[in-house]
Structure 1
Amino acid sequence: MDDQPVLDPLGAVRAAGDPATDVYLTGTVFLDIIFTGLDSAPVRGTESWARGMGSSPGGIANMATALARLGLRTTLAAAFGDDVYGDYCWDSLSSGEGIDLSLSRRIPGWHSPVTVSMAYEGERTMVTHGHEAPPPEEAAPACPPPARAAVAALGHRGTSGEGEADEEWIGSAAASGTKVFADVCWDETGRWDPADLEGLRHCAAFLPNAAEAMRYTRTDSAQEAARRLAELVPLAVVTLGSEGAFAVDSGSGETAEVPALIVEALDPTGAGDVFVAGFVTGTLAQWPLADRLAFASLSAALSVQEFGGSLSAPGWIEIASWWQQTKDAAVAGAADPALSRFAFLDDLLPAAPRRWPLRRAVPTIGFRPA
């Protein structure tokens, strides 16, 4: 393995006395089993064969892995079952990806949640099984550790009071100086009650997708939804799927919009989490808003070209390779608008080809180390 250090996107802004953790996360870890290469949706009463299959830690693990692969010091507080699935997820995240699990807990007798995802026609269908989650105090600390940033999920969370507990730790984190980035849970009730977003008062940024943003704001366009949300949070970022992303900074009044990269998508699982990870990275590194959006979109585009959620997240090797290929194509005469849009990568990536240590978890529970 190359002994050169991994690229640190926050190297220019680190200082003595900074928190040991760059990003703190808490949430549910699933075992994801992903089927790819399906020509169409499964039909009742028939058997469908998939051309590809893999497994990986999912749920909050998608974002934790994406952040860690971009060089951020990531701490995850979550519950893990003491079954084989829990062992695999724990080892993949801790040993395979270098994520700090010191605040996570192994729960005796708890069956790990499992999601089966089927990718076809650019979309996915999921089936999930899980038992009642352990009490919050067994899964994550009530008071989060000092961190530069944290990512929280807002929105409708059912009637268990879980959302209230989440808002407490979000408020504690923000009060300690942590920048809280919020995404949102899909509201299966269809209510889309704006009161579910009360936690935004503690947050530095909110990153819903277009459908979620328009439903919460009762607007007809993602751009108008972003402007409405910017009245509630300093920075509103709305992802537009194949059309890119749009952001409004309520403090400066700045807006930015970037188109999505056109790629052949194999599996969209976890792409939203990878987008958030890229945007958090750029924000902590103090990049301009348009560059943050472009980098987040690039990260998400690279992820959908591989199967799985967490283990498809790109690292600097994949980003540097894509950028070099883009520049080589331009030299060969194939004009690409990405050449100017991503020019900021030249200041971030080394001019000469370089090998970074590739620390990766094995993308299936089906194989044992040699």
Structure 2
Amino acid sequence: MDLFVSGDVFLDIVFTGLRRLPRPGEETWAPGMGSSPGGIANLAVAAARLGLDTGLGAAFSTDPYGEFCRGVLREQGVDLGPSRCFEDWHSPVTVSLAYQRDRSMITHGHPAPVGPDGLVGELPAARAASVSLTGERLPWVRRAARSGTLLFAGVGWDDSAVWPAAALDALEDCHAFLPNAVEAMHYTRTDSPRAALHRLADRVPVAVVTCGSEGALAIDAATGEIVSAPAVHVEALDPTGAGDVFTAGFIAATLWGRPLGERLAFANLVAALSVRHFGGSLSAPGWSEIAAWRGAPGYGFLDELIPAVVSAGEPPRSRRAAATITRLPEAA
């Protein structure tokens, strides 16, 4: 595999076009709605659409939501060989309300019947892998690092507001860390994205901090190279999963051997293109959308990159999120 990812898959139901969020006792109608696999599926589908041979280790329920998510992922070219199905467990669901270029989410679910290491007992050989730092040292991460796999780490929001620095200890096994600015500043106890970036460079070879509308920053700790890339401004419909699509773009450009500045710019581009559509996974752009940016300032490298990548194989078609879950033949 080019990329192995492991984590939770949710059924995402996204409402868009809201004029405002409802107050207690109110009902608000949403002009738009889309359903798609979410969670780690966002990264897996985005990577597959970029042409990476992507494998996923996740738990799936055999309920209709789980069957829908598995069907979409297989259709999009994601290898589900490392994943497992369970009957006595239901799929977790997230409802996302997209409003004013951001979103609020409500999630319901129960712990999966098997922990993260139970999904990767037989670790697939992969050039790269993605891991979310939780404070728990996952044995499969150490095994992957020792086998030569490049590990790209993200981190989730800390509801406890403790932001323990020890959660970053697993970075010693990682090649790159890609938090957003708020996460980076909290975990490093700094007051600016750039200060956080430099602090993280002491812990991981490549540190990246995403700054929303301000773009992104990255530093190569080995060479001291620091680069920045401006955000790509588009008309946003739904920002759900944009961070995962950014990570997929950065991983792909790393595996293609592109310079640090190009990796950052490419990740910014694919993340921006994703917010123009519903949902995180099925909003990820395909190469026809990316190719439209040939010749744009800062994207001259696409003239060299696109022919080399696209000629390597036919990418999965860019199916978009439907309003409600359907059988795949019906959706097609």
State the 1:359 CA deviation.
Answer: 2.2
Alignment correspondent of 1:98: 77
* Aligned pair partner of 2:275 in 267, 282, 304: 304
Alignment correspondent of 2:293: 323
Alignment correspondent of 2:146: 175
* Aligned pair partner of 1:118 in 93, 97, 113: 97
With 25-34 and 342-351 compared, the bigger mean Cα shift is at: 342-351
State the 1:265 CA deviation.
Answer: 1.0
Q: Say which SS state the counterpart of residue 128 (structure 2) adopts.
A: strand
Q: Say which SS state the counterpart of residue 347 (structure 1) adopts.
A: helix
Deviations 1:45-75, CA, capped at 9 Å, x for gaps? 1110000001000000000000000000000
The letter for the 2-side match of 1:46 is: E
Alignment correspondent of 1:331: none
State the 1:217 CA deviation.
Answer: 0.8
State the 1:357 CA deviation.
Answer: 5.9
* Aligned pair partner of 1:348 in 280, 305, 308: 305
Unaligned runs of 5+ in 1: 1-20, 157-162, 328-338
For 1:1-370, list aligned pairs within 5 A: 21-94=1-74, 96-136=75-115, 140-156=119-135, 163-164=136-137, 166=138, 168-320=139-291, 322-324=292-294, 327=295, 339-350=296-307, 359-361=317-319, 363-364=321-322, 365-368=324-327, 369-370=329-330
- Aligned 8 A contact 1:143 1:172 in 2: no
Deviations 1:232-266, CA, capped at 9 Å, x for gaps? 00010000000000011100110000110111111
Question: In 2, Cα distance between the equivalents of 1:89 and 1:305?
Answer: 21
Alignment correspondent of 1:8: none
The letter for the 2-side match of 1:127 is: I
Question: In 2, Cα distance between the equivalents of 1:132 and 1:184?
Answer: 18
- Aligned 8 A contact 1:105 1:138 in 2: no
The letter for the 2-side match of 1:171 is: R
Question: In 2, Cα distance between the equivalents of 1:361 and 1:28?
Answer: 21
State the 1:145 CA deviation.
Answer: 1.3
The letter for the 2-side match of 1:259 is: P
Question: In 1, Cα distance between the equivalents of 2:144 and 2:316?
Answer: 32
Larger Rg: 1
- Aligned 8 A contact 1:92 1:362 in 2: no
> What is the aligned residue count?
326
Question: In 1, Cα distance between the equivalents of 2:128 and 2:253?
Answer: 12
State the 1:366 CA deviation.
Answer: 3.8
State the 1:142 CA deviation.
Answer: 2.5
Question: In 2, Cα distance between the equivalents of 1:236 and 1:137?
Answer: 24
Question: In 2, Cα distance between the equivalents of 1:69 and 1:90?
Answer: 16
- Aligned 8 A contact 1:33 1:116 in 2: yes
Sequence identity of aligned pairs in percent? 55
State the 1:358 CA deviation.
Answer: 5.0
Question: In 2, Cα distance between the equivalents of 1:232 and 1:143?
Answer: 28
Q: Say which SS state the counterpart of residue 197 (structure 1) adopts.
A: helix
- Aligned 8 A contact 2:50 2:315 in 1: no
Question: In 1, Cα distance between the equivalents of 2:147 and 2:62?
Answer: 33
Unaligned runs of 5+ in 2: none
